Structure 1
Amino acid sequence: MIFRLGELFCGPGGLAYGAMNAQIENPNFRIVHQWANDYDGDTCETYRHNICPNHPETVYHADIRKFNLKGLPDIDALAFGFPCNDYSVVGEQKGMDGVYGPLYSYGVKVLNLYRPMWFLAENVGGLRNANDGKAFSKILLEMSEAGYTLTPHLYKFEQYGVPQARHRIIIVGIRNDLNVKYHVPSPEPYKDIDNTCKTAIEIPPIPADAFNNEATKQSPTVVKRLNYIKPGENAFTADIPEDLQLHINGAKISQIYKRLDPTKPAYTVTGSGGGGTHIYHWSEPRALTNRERARLQTFPDSYQFIGSKESVRKQIGMAVPCQGAQIIFEAILKSFAGIDYPFVEPNINE
């Protein structure tokens, strides 16, 4: 069975790449691109270039609040990583009261309009706590009322071989009239994978002419500061001379000038933030290149991001790790194909 996939808030294609590359024992079950939407122009160009270069017209560049959801080609599946800004632990956690909070509702509209057989929705772990947990409950209720059996789970992608500690709530919904049961895939098969950030970035070496691999020009002050910060430390935990210390009022975010620990997966790759938030190499006094950051998100080196350096940084940080997405999509395909696989009980708590 071939599932035609529609996507809202598609980003640069992390979910799509995972979906298109999902393979199971029965080759008749697979996922193909049908259409996608995102509000950011560069992001749409990246998606077109890598996911559907022969059908660029199937990617709609539009603000979802002004986008006509009716009249799109039929779909069998829907994926939407609805914007997380208002649910992020780092942000103000405005939840439903923020600009982005209610955007999940457009995914629910598509469910009601097109009745796909299944869907996958993704958001940050902070979604559970926004509006004292009421936002998450409301979202689950509306998805359920659209006619779907839900399996929400907090996926810790580093447990699935991804070289990055990235925790995301993913909700898989199967249409109620289908005799299909989805299970959360077990991380056990991936426990022996070497998913250290050092291995991800260095093996194999990144080609000298790789796309999106421009180095960041670090100021002499930043270079000096980084030389005092050991792997795994940040600007506040390291022993730094007074003249190089940061004097920031309020929260001291632990990722500020934090160097990677080469013996562990990377900390979470983010898409925005000012000085000190670009992820820093464990031994060289510099920020990672976008290509190195893309490797931590498990994009292949052949994946070309379109746009300025800062635009590409944002795209990479907002994406879902391709390999993590592929594992979940393969579990969905196996569920429909009636193929057993090791699974764990769903859990939304840390």
Structure 2
Amino acid sequence: MKFIDLFAGLGGFRIALENNGGKCVFSSEIDKYARETYKNNFGEEPSGDIIQIKSEEIPNHDILCAGFPCQPFSIAGKRLGFEDARGTLFFEVARILKDKRPKAFILENVAGIVSHDEGKTLNTIISILGELEYSVVWKVLNAKDYGIPQNRNRWYCVGVDKRIFSNFSEKDIFPAKTKLATFISDFIEKNVNSSYNVSEIAKKNMEIHITAFLEKGKCKENQPIIANNIRPSKVSFSATGISPCLTAKMGTGGNNVPVIYTLGRKLTEKECLRIMSFPEDYKIKANYSQTYKQLGNSVVVKLIEQIAKNLIVFLKSR
């Protein structure tokens, strides 16, 4: 199966599809730091701004993959048609679907897209995909329910060309929930250098609130205490073996990267890669704000891999 990787980021979609035997024939990413990381891992630099790339410059493909940014539609709810999407990055996805007619697509976005702009954004997206004659299923899935120890809710949307495929349903695509077999404790590195240590102010803020957390007795045995949203007034602690959601805010500095309380340091990039289920040999810059931002924007590889596997089985069986 040939696929394209739009808004490619770190290439999580690419890894997931390649693990299912897919071949990437085109990628696009506007962020220069993500483009550099992508090139270091895949040996090729993605094309730039998708808005500037004509449809005829994109190779034919079977599956379109895109973790597009969520944007409101200026006239959503009025016509709910293809033209409503103009000026948004989703329009570029719709344009390529319209012009290239791949057999299928996989989209990913934040869970908030469901309620974004009072639901108008999602209504417009689903309406346009239907207008383009794709059968569509979507669902909000939390990574922790599918074998990945991260509390990460995301919207996944899969469609197939209704001119070719019939009897397409949610059960064909979305995996069954599974119990966790790995936890944060399995991902922690040893002998991490002091550059990852938290500030004295952050340590003081954690000490203010740690006693109240420990008194609740909600610590899972052999799992580290993780702190995030560290503020003088409140600190969010957890010790369930499941990471809080890694977000793009990690790239803004401060205390936005989750902290391993007992070690007095923030999660390293390598640990975050593991929490996002990237392979061990993935290469990324260390102790760099742009790296944390890219990680927070990425997809969970193993969850996309499960969805892609089911989609490819469906496409090949029809």
> What TM-score do you get using the length of structure 2 for normalisation?
0.82
Structure 2 equivalent of residue 226 of structure 1: 206
Cα displacement (A) at 1:101: 8.3
Structure 1 equivalent of residue 306 of structure 2: 327
Report matched runs for 1:121-132 at 5 Å: 121-132=107-118
Secondary structure of the 1:47 match is: helix
Q: Does 1:32 align with 2:23?
A: yes
Secondary structure of the 1:113 match is: helix
Q: Does 1:245 align with 2:245?
A: no
Cα displacement (A) at 1:36: 0.5
In the superposition, relative to structure 1, how do residues 335 and 214 fare at CA in structure 2: closer, same or farther (>3 Å)? farther
Cα displacement (A) at 1:308: 6.9
Structure 1 equivalent of residue 271 of structure 2: 292
- Of 311-320 and 274-283, deviating more is 274-283
In the superposition, relative to structure 1, how do residues 306 and 78 fare at CA in structure 2: closer, same or farther (>3 Å)? farther
Letter in 1 for 2:39: R
Cα displacement (A) at 1:214: 8.1
Letter in 1 for 2:11: G
Structure 2 equivalent of residue 162 of structure 1: 148
Equivalenced residues, count: 288
Secondary structure of the 1:198 match is: helix
Deviations 1:156-212 (A, max 9, x none): 111100110111111101011223535233324x22x3242223x23xxx4769xxx
Cα displacement (A) at 1:259: 4.0
Cα displacement (A) at 1:334: 1.6
Cα distance in 1 for partners of 2:7, 2:256 equals 24
Structure 2 equivalent of residue 26 of structure 1: none
Report matched runs for 1:1-350 at 5 Å: 3-22=1-20, 30-50=21-41, 52-53=42-43, 56=44, 59-60=46-47, 62-84=48-70, 86=71, 95-96=72-73, 102-179=88-165, 181=168, 183-188=172-177, 190-191=178-179, 193-199=180-186, 201-202=187-188, 206=189, 215-230=195-210, 231=225, 245-246=232-233, 258-261=236-239, 263-272=240-249, 273-306=252-285, 309-338=288-317
Cα distance in 2 for partners of 1:301, 1:49 equals 14
In the superposition, relative to structure 1, how do residues 293 and 228 fare at CA in structure 2: closer, same or farther (>3 Å)? farther
Cα displacement (A) at 1:108: 0.4
In the superposition, relative to structure 1, how do residues 165 and 235 fare at CA in structure 2: closer, same or farther (>3 Å)? closer
**Relative to total residues, which structure has the larger helix share, 1 or 2?**
2
Letter in 2 for 1:19: L
Cα distance in 1 for partners of 2:281, 2:140 equals 30
In the superposition, relative to structure 1, how do residues 233 and 287 fare at CA in structure 2: closer, same or farther (>3 Å)? closer
Letter in 1 for 2:268: T
Cα distance in 2 for partners of 1:179, 1:292 equals 41
In the superposition, relative to structure 1, how do residues 208 and 20 fare at CA in structure 2: closer, same or farther (>3 Å)? farther
Letter in 1 for 2:97: L
Deviations 1:233-282 (A, max 9, x none): 6668xxxxxxx824xxxxxxxxx753442x23111001124422111114
Mapped contact 2:55–2:96 kept (Cα < 8 A) = yes
Letter in 2 for 1:268: C
In the superposition, relative to structure 1, how do residues 307 and 280 fare at CA in structure 2: closer, same or farther (>3 Å)? closer
In the superposition, relative to structure 1, how do residues 144 and 245 fare at CA in structure 2: closer, same or farther (>3 Å)? same
Letter in 2 for 1:198: S
Secondary structure of the 2:302 match is: helix
Deviations 1:203-236 (A, max 9, x none): xxx4769xxx884243222223234443366668
Cα distance in 1 for partners of 2:87, 2:283 equals 30
Mapped contact 1:83–1:101 kept (Cα < 8 A) = no
Percent of matched pairs sharing the same residue: 23
Unmatched tracts of structure 1, length 5 or more: 23-29, 87-94, 237-243, 247-255, 340-350
> What TM-score do you get using the length of structure 1 for normalisation?
0.75
Cα displacement (A) at 1:103: 1.0
Deviations 1:306-332 (A, max 9, x none): 587111111111000111111111111
Mapped contact 1:226–1:285 kept (Cα < 8 A) = no
Secondary structure of the 1:164 match is: coil
In the superposition, relative to structure 1, how do residues 197 and 138 fare at CA in structure 2: closer, same or farther (>3 Å)? same
Letter in 1 for 2:314: S
Unmatched tracts of structure 2, length 5 or more: 75-85, 211-224
Secondary structure of the 1:323 match is: helix
Cα distance in 1 for partners of 2:227, 2:198 equals 19
Deviations 1:45-90 (A, max 9, x none): 222222x32xx25x21x22333333322211110010014x5xxxx
Cα distance in 1 for partners of 2:4, 2:203 equals 45
